[in-house]
Amino acid sequence: MNTGKQGRDLIKQFEGYRSTSYLCPAGVWTIGYGHTKGVTAGQYCTRADAERFLSEDLQTAENTLNRFAETNDLVLRQCQFDALVSFIFNVGTGNWSKSTLRKLVAADPGDPYIRYQFSRWVYGGGKELPGLVRRRKAEADLYFKEPT
């Protein structure tokens, strides 16, 4: 599976576009739409660069989630996939692999307790961040979105 428009839009909304590199609340150099790989102080990127970085970064999260779904014989709906890709994109593949959220999805993708697990990941640099609180709620809402 690949990230759909809703997933990309959610990530872009919460990451925001930044043309110059900056230190995120966790102290990591970031640019574009949350791109961190190889970023240093004083870098600049265009929107086209940011879109390319986003596509590359999403591929890492998508590959991680697709392997997870295949290994656990799961069929995820697009909204579930998009929400989880946003989560993995934000917290990283290592944190995802150790998370209770991952374990719950593997056991039962419909478990309502999954919503709570999203809400636990709201800290950056040791502080609860209002932007992460809103993002996790948006991810959980997307994950549990009813099919239309």
Q: Which residues are catalytic?
A: 15
Task: Give every CB contact of residue 78 below 8 A, 6+ residues apart in sequence.
Answer: 1, 4, 6
| Residue 30 structure tokens | 């970031």
Instruction: For residues 114 and 121, give the distance between their C-alpha atoms in angstroms, rounded to a whole number.
Output: 12
Q: Which of 45, 44, 11, 18 shows the shortest CA–CA distance to 131?
A: 11
Sheet strands (E) in 17-91: 18-23, 29-32
Identify the CA nearest to 8 among candidates 85, 96, 95, 121: 85
